[in-house]
Amino acid sequence: MSTSSTTSAVSATGATVAYLGPAGTFTEAALLRFAESGAFGGGEITQLPVNSSRAAIDAVRHGEADFACVAIENSVDGAVTSTFDALADGGGVQIYHELELEIAFSIMVRPGTRLADVRTLATHPVAHQQVRQWMAEHVPEAAYTPASSNAAGAEAVAEGRADAAAAPDRAADLFGLEVLAADVADVGGARTRFVTVGPRGVPTPRSGNDTTSVVFTLPNEPSTLVGALTEFAQRGVDLSRIESRPTRRVFGTYNFYVDLVGHIDDAPLAEALRALWLRAENITFLGSWPAASGDGREDALAADLARLERASTWVDAAREGKEIS
């Protein structure tokens, strides 16, 4: 995993990384994976647990952390909208790396508790969506109690504020709990995508299998969204995701979040972003970084870039009065 110029600016003593805590969350597991890959530069990592993805990103904005590690999307419940809202609000940050983790939960209780004793189960709202069927089958009388994170749910069990929690195995070890059921997931193979967020800087170098993300607003006029998306289609730039979120300023106005296949150093994508800038009321670059997985789209992009290079050669020859096919 490549590092950007932002990581090189981090002190050799290591980086402070904010994440959704406490220790024992899947976000902490992602943070440790990122650290192993060198995404935060050299030296020891200081973990800064906070109670939300917004707080993690704001810690970077305010200089309290060098990076944030946050969840951005999962295969069951879709985009983590709180993360996208936090990225859009305030500027000054961008994404540098991503990875995917397979997600399955352990159901944990205080020692001696049986499933029949469980009347409340605490976990994060996103996790709740991934264990609802299991709860209906195994603890149908249990009420769901929202927690700021899965590990916070485990902490609530340890403190007697809930009977059970759905959390990673590590949380059971940290809080002295027993695991009654392991590998719980209503949808097998569920995955969550995590990213590193740092201060604004030079994007992570192009890998040939990249994602670029922007958020923009458009004039509230007919066909403005169609026109904006046409700029990508005309240049052969593929969209891997598009979502809208209310701006929360004027009713009926939206931020559009777009993930693009490619890097800002790819000429077609850069040209499409220039054209989008001309159409948008506001546009924020959220980063270009190596994608965690590919599905062959990078091969098509490479072919398009080769064809674009040939087109440029033809234009240069025409300028010089040369004949070229």
Is residue 260 located within the same domain as residue 120? no
Q: Is 4 part of any domain?
A: no
- How far apart are alpha carbons 255 and 100 in whole angstroms? 25
pLDDT in tens, 23-54: 999 999 999 999 999 999 878 999 999 999 99
pLDDT, residue 298, reads 58
Q: Is 5 part of any domain?
A: no
Q: Is the pLDDT of residue 161 over 50?
A: yes
Is residue 243 located within the same domain as residue 307? yes
pLDDT in tens, 293-315: 765 555 656 666 677 677 778 78
pTM: 0.83
Q: Is 147 part of any domain?
A: yes
Is residue 269 located within the same domain as residue 152? no
Is residue 149 located within the same domain as residue 137? yes
Question: Of 152, 184, 216, which residue constitutes the final position of a domain?
Answer: 184
Is residue 120 located within the same domain as residue 79? no
Tokens for 65, please give them: 């952390």
At 253, is the pLDDT very low, low, confident or very high (cuts 50, 70, 90)?
Answer: confident
Q: Is the pLDDT of residue 9 over 70?
A: no
Is residue 155 located within the same domain as residue 266? no
- Which range marks the domain in which residue 164 is found? 105-184
pLDDT, residue 301, reads 61
Q: How many domains does the chain have?
A: 3
Strand partners, 248: none
**CATH number of residue 15's parent domain:** 3.40.190.10
Question: Of 157, 184, 211, which residue constitutes the final position of a domain?
Answer: 184
